[in-house]
Amino acid sequence: MRRPKLPTFSGDALHVWLHQHRMAMGTAVAHIKASPLSTLLTVLAIAITLALPNALFLTIDAIGDALGNQGGRAISAFMKLSVDGRELHDIAAELEKDPQIERIDVITREQSLQRFRDSSGMDDVLDLLPNNPLPAVLLIHPRQDIDEMETLERLAMKIEARSTVETVVLDREWMGTLFATLSAFKRFSLAMLLLFALLVALVIYNGLRIEVLQHRHEIEVIKLVGGSDHYIQRPFHYHAVMLGAAGALLASVFIAIVFVILRPHFAELGAAYDVALPLQLGGGFVVTLVLLAMILSLLSSRLSLGALLKHIRP
């Protein structure tokens, strides 16, 4: 007896799934168009909530990078007097292979002597010396993401252990103060990010609650004809994600405007300390902020819709 051919539903199931999501997106857009003022206020609330802590975090990060680029963060390796010329550059090239080192500035013995002449004004005394008494120096700049004093000290000890190095100088007091200050401010900004993320979740919850109440009768009809909870919730999920994405984009605009306004003042502050304080909003940060806002909005929607729809019965 010939076995009947079983139908395959994979293509049909995918088509139905895509159609349902297109319908859900269309319904979400229709909800937004139906209440533009409410949507605008929700997006503004999300944008302000996201802009404040992220602007603070970016500002602290810019200040940390600027202070980290000062000479006090570098490790000065004073070489033995026998080291100069080609050997000095070979040592620098070998040290630059260390993943903890960003770059190395090479200062030869002749350059050390010339710098001392320029800064001291003791040309007559230096001319009386038979030989150059100053050593060559390697000014070693650690990676910017190194923010622990113990890591810098281990790097300095590793450099000092080389046979060609006479001594290593690291401004431990300055670096300890810098790292402690930046750590405190970054922890504060992260705490603010968490608190404001909770506020975004509450804003999303309130917006969804209003939408559910406005479409209560539609939900009752869908439940009456057997619509599943996932089918009912799907347009609200898309609605929440759209609100989160729009709020994050608007927050990026707010941050960019604030940075443009503050940039001249930070340039003056940086000039006073002889450092650059660039306030920048990178494209990567904007994309990350939008994605995180969408994920947070979706999670808030999933956690809140069950409770909101539970009390609506046909």
CB 139 within 8 A of CB 105: yes
Q: For 227-265, what is each residue's pLDDT tens digit?
A: 666 677 788 888 888 888 999 999 999 999 998 888 887
Q: What is the pLDDT of residue 9?
A: 46
Whether 100 has a pLDDT exceeding 70, the answer reads: yes
Q: Which residues contact 277 (CB under 8 A, 6 or more apart)?
A: 62, 63, 66, 266, 267, 269, 270
Strands 165-169 and 137-142, by their bridges, are unpaired
Residue 1: predicted pLDDT: 40
Whole-prediction pTM value? 0.66
Domain ranges in the chain? Answer: 22-67+178-310, 73-171
Tell me if 308 sits within 8 A of 216, measured CB to CB: no
User: Over 80: is that where the pLDDT of 199 sits?
Assistant: yes
Q: Give me the chain's average pLDDT, please.
A: 78
Q: What CATH class has 73-171?
A: alpha beta
Closest CA to 111 of 119, 122, 99, 101: 119
Report the pLDDT value the prediction gives residue 7, as an integer from 0 to 100. 46
Q: What percent of the chain has pLDDT over 90?
A: 8
